[in-house]
Amino acid sequence: MPLDIVALVLFGALLHATWNALVKSGTDKQLDSSMVALGASVASICALPFLPMPNATAWPFILASVCIHFTYYQLVGVAYRLGDIGLVYPLMRGVAPLIVATTSGSILGEHLSPVMFAGVTFICVGVLTIAADFRGGNSKAIWVAIANAVVISLYTYVDGIGARLAGNPISYTLWISILPPIPLFAFAFLMRGVPPVLVHVRRTWRRGLIGGAGSVASYGLALYAMTQAPIAAVAALRETSIFFALIISVFILKERASVWRYVAGAIIAIGALTMKLG
């Protein structure tokens, strides 16, 4: 994988860890995840006039992606309500690339080299080591995280193919970021009523805008990378975000981390280096 693509994916991973930390630290995990989606939508609308429309062949993938991302954001909120980020985030982000890596040959006809597959394996082992070391979770949080990993692998395929068909991966990213708040907030209004949701929006719009901008930038970088490198390899390298999440938790949030989390971080770094060599 070219060094510039590796650098872009790693930067996107940092952004991804940051917006997930914002959701976890919020007061209402369900609405906060929807606020990130809303922030991503606002940021995307601002950039939309400067880019061409996606090709017509990409629109079925855009609409499918909106539906899948609705499920994704809902499960993110549930997972962070049930479990700590140290458990939930590694499971969601570690299981998903393993699913993609083991199925991309039959689904896309993309076969990773032995070195690239070794890198994928290292990264997955690293993030799952962090999850295994965490003791504060429960079985419900684990199952929700694994379910969302399946959803993540599904939108990875849909968006990886859609970005290639769109002609411009950034345009594709903008459109799949603009539309999800529509079903998310329609569902929130239905379940909670309009006034309480609007009160939360007024209180947290800055957090949502910052997190949303980071979210759309992170995913846009990943989708661009998927047009330049194998989807499974990019999906795995993106999961180095858990390494950045560990750094944020220790040095910014001042949370304690066991030696096994540092070992896991080293394994993730080895995986990223291995993928570069492949």
Mean pLDDT of 226-232: 84
**Which DSSP string corresponds to 34-57?**
HHHHHHHHHHHHHHGGGSPPPPGG
Q: Which residue's entry shows tokens 């393993």?
A: 98
| Alpha carbon separation from 143 to 107, 108, 138, 190, 216 (Å, rounded) | 25, 27, 9, 26, 27
Instruction: For residues 34 and 197, give the distance between their C-alpha atoms in angstroms, rounded to a whole number.
Output: 10
Instruction: For residues 276 and 110, give the distance between their C-alpha atoms in angstroms, rounded to a whole number.
Output: 17
**Amino acid at site 69:** H
For residue 275, pLDDT over 80 is answered with no
User: Which range (72-76, 180-184, 231-235) has the least confidence?
Assistant: 231-235
Instruction: For residues 79 and 86, give the distance between their C-alpha atoms in angstroms, rounded to a whole number.
Output: 11
Q: What residues contact residue 247 under an 8 Å CB cut-off, 6+ apart?
A: none
Instruction: For residues 210 and 39, give the distance between their C-alpha atoms in angstroms, rounded to a whole number.
Output: 7
Instruction: For residues 200 and 5, give the distance between their C-alpha atoms in angstroms, rounded to a whole number.
Output: 38
Total structural domains within the chain: 1
Can you give the pLDDT at residue 272?
A: 67
Q: Which of 57-61, 107-111, 159-163, 269-273 has the highest mean pLDDT?
A: 57-61
Residue 261 three-state SS: helix
User: Which range (64-78, 201-215, 237-251) has the least confidence?
Assistant: 237-251
**SS3 labels along the chain:** CCHHHHHHHHHHHHHHHHHHHHHHCCCCHHHHHHHHHHHHHHHHHHHHHHCCCCCHHHHHHHHHHHHHHHHHHHHHHHHHHHCCHHHHHHHHHHHHHHHHHHHHHHHHCCCCCHHHHHHHHHHHHHHHHHHHHCCCCCHHHHHHHHHHHHHHHHHHHHHHHHHHHHCCHHHHHHHHHHCCHHHHHHHHHHHHCHHHHHHHHHHHHHHHHHHHHHHHHHHHHHHHHHCCCCHHHHHHHHCCHHHHHHHHHHHHCCCCCCHHHHHHHHHHHHHHHHHHHC
239 or 104, which is more confident:
104
User: pLDDT tens, 7-50?
Assistant: 888 898 888 888 777 777 767 877 888 888 898 899 899 888 88
DSSP 248: I
User: Which range (2-6, 11-15, 88-92) has the least confidence?
Assistant: 88-92
For residue 257, pLDDT over 70 is answered with no
DSSP 247: H
**Amino acid at site 62:** I
Range of the domain at 152: 3-277
